[in-house]
A and B are shown apart, each in its own frame.
Chain A
């Protein structure tokens, strides 16, 4: 869909979330998951039947006037608000931000709900996996995973699929099993949450572990030139104190 090619405003949380939500079904579809639309269809059914009642009442009111439609107005209003209430309950208490529900070839079900918190560019997912057949011994498991959007959005607002797929495959076993190539170990890049202040600054820089720091830098792919004074441990250590 559009997500791979459209540029979004990286500071709009809604854009970040919607684009990512849209990318989810595409990825799972490529892993031979079959999307189940039941919940969306029930939402549409509830909503459109309410709208239909309002539409019919509007038409007859416009065509024949109040004196004719008066006896039907109260039942129509009651029915409309009942359906509208069911719709609201369905959206907020049943779907609860559902973006994907599907099953794989073995009949294992996965449902994914997403949400973001205000002014915090972190993508939160609640993943529920139900084994097949749903027996009493093997209950469904629920995972709470999250990751900053910076992991799969470039600075200028393009979605990149690979890191997003890696995030999903490595944190959800069912997806990881379907896509072992993307099941990679967390290297901590971009996630500022588990390491306060980012990778390198977390180390206590001193003359003794300078070599270790350089090794870390190399592993993180940083472009470091060794030689002369720049990375000299003693100086850096003094500055920190």
Chain B
């Protein structure tokens, strides 16, 4: 441990750089994965139980957004305009495709009805190209539960970031 006050400007700049590089590398890896999968959010966490028993709350899903000809039975993640939370549901019907834009109807395995009520007002289907951010190609059970905790208790996020930052700045191992 050492005190920040006694540091030369270049030494301080070097320590800060180490911290900034950790954060920026994580961010750029994420962005690199986005480019490869062509999805704005290539890894998502299941937030609700609407797809049980296939997925539980906290499962980590890997998405792939390069196969645009989505078939019935595929599980897709979509964003509804005006709502921030991505939804993971299964495709139960498809319209169009080929020359006309592909449209999809989805439903949660554990839900009684299809998703028309979840869509934006006046929308009765998903546009494959615009609304869907990817199809699920793999998952790891439970490991995403940490992020559910973090989003339910926002102060945890700040605390974690603060501790990480302090550690990187203060230690010179």
Contact = CB atoms under 8 A, between A and B. Distances in A.
A176 to B, nearest CB: 26
A77 B10 contact: no
Interface string A132-165: 0000000000000000000000000000000000
Given A44-B10, A55-B24, A84-B21, A14 B2 contact: no
Interface residues of B, number: 23
B97 interface: no
Main secondary structure of the interface of A (DSSP, over half): helix
Contacts of A18: 2, 172
A48 B34 contact: no
B82 to A, nearest CB: 13
Given A2-B3, A44-B10, A77 B32 contact: yes
Contacts of A40: 10, 14
B159 interface: no
A81 B8 CA distance: 28
Interface in A184-234: none
Interface in B124-173: 171-173
A78 to B, nearest CB: 9
B118 interface: no
B167 to A, nearest CB: 14
A47 B10 contact: no
B2 A74 contact: no
Interface string B1-39: 011001010100110010011011101100110110000
A216 B122 CA distance: 99
| Residue of B31, B34, B40, B171 most packed against chain A (CB within 10 A) | B31
A55 B10 CA distance: 21
A50 interface: yes
29 contacts: A2-B2, A6-B6, A14-B171, A14-B172, A14-B173, A40-B14, A41-B10, A43-B14, A44-B10, A47-B17, A48-B13, A48-B17, A50-B21, A51-B17, A51-B20, A51-B21, A54-B24, A54-B27, A54-B28, A58-B27, A66-B34, A66-B40, A77-B28, A77-B31, A80-B24, A80-B28, A81-B28, A84-B28, A87-B21
Interface of A: 1-2, 6, 14, 18, 37, 40-41, 43-44, 47-48, 50-51, 54-55, 57-58, 61, 65-66, 70, 73-74, 76-77, 80-81, 84, 87
